[in-house]
Amino acid sequence: MTLGPDSEVVWRWGEAALTATLVNTWLVMGLLTLGAWWLTRRLSDGPSLSRWQNLLESLVSGIDDQIRQVSHQPPARYRPFVGTLFLFIAVSNLLEVVPGFASPMGSLSTTTALAICVFVAVPLYGIAREGPLGYLRHYLQPSWLMLPFNVIGELSRTVALAVRLYGNIMSGTLIVAILLGLTPYVFPVLMQLLGLLTGMIQAYIFAVLAMVYIASAASAQRERRQVPRPTEGGNTHG
């Protein structure tokens, strides 16, 4: 019995190996792509909407509301990235009910790749909003002596994102494996249902944390621009 998809080799050619992690990741990506095409091929703006369009609009509205609450900014800029993170993690975890499917989130390489995407997106969004110098200046706040600590903080939260998601998914898998050996009919079913709930929560937490990190970079720059500068003589009111 394997606890993670990395150890399950689907196909091997010499030193190259195709693991279940890659296969299942491609499967989730394909399902999301086909699902997006199928749900958006007959969109209507009339008074009567299909149940699938209602579901899609509810999902998009929910993502927009969460982005707006976290960032206090219009959600359109962040929706593609944050929404994709949430849907990819959520669908990966939900598909674990399918026999033989192991969630890619059970691989540390997958969670690390997602965390690196967040790590790269944070400065990209910050630079797009503030410019290169404006964004890089926050690493020197409140003093240039804080530069190494700010850089370490960026790296450590990336590691924390990857390990948190991986640890929560693998802990549920390990518990199910232990209970399967003790009571093979009752508890694993209950734990599988609990695992689905946990998987959805982890998808939500990962997406929200990604949005918090992205929004914090822009908000820090905005707050510094709004700090009033004293005029000559110390009178800030002119």
Q: What is the mean pLDDT of residues 179-204?
A: 67
- The mean per-residue pLDDT over the stretch 43-72 comes to 85
Give tens-digit pLDDT for 73-105: 888 889 999 999 999 999 988 888 787 788 888
Q: Give Cα 77 to chain centroid, integer Å.
A: 16
The answer on pLDDT for 223 being more than 70 is: no
Please give the residue that has the higher pLDDT: either 175 or 88: 88
For range 145-174, the mean pLDDT: 73
Token couple for 84: 């994709």
Task: Note the helical H segments in the chain.
Answer: 20-40, 51-71, 79-94, 108-130, 132-136, 147-182, 187-226
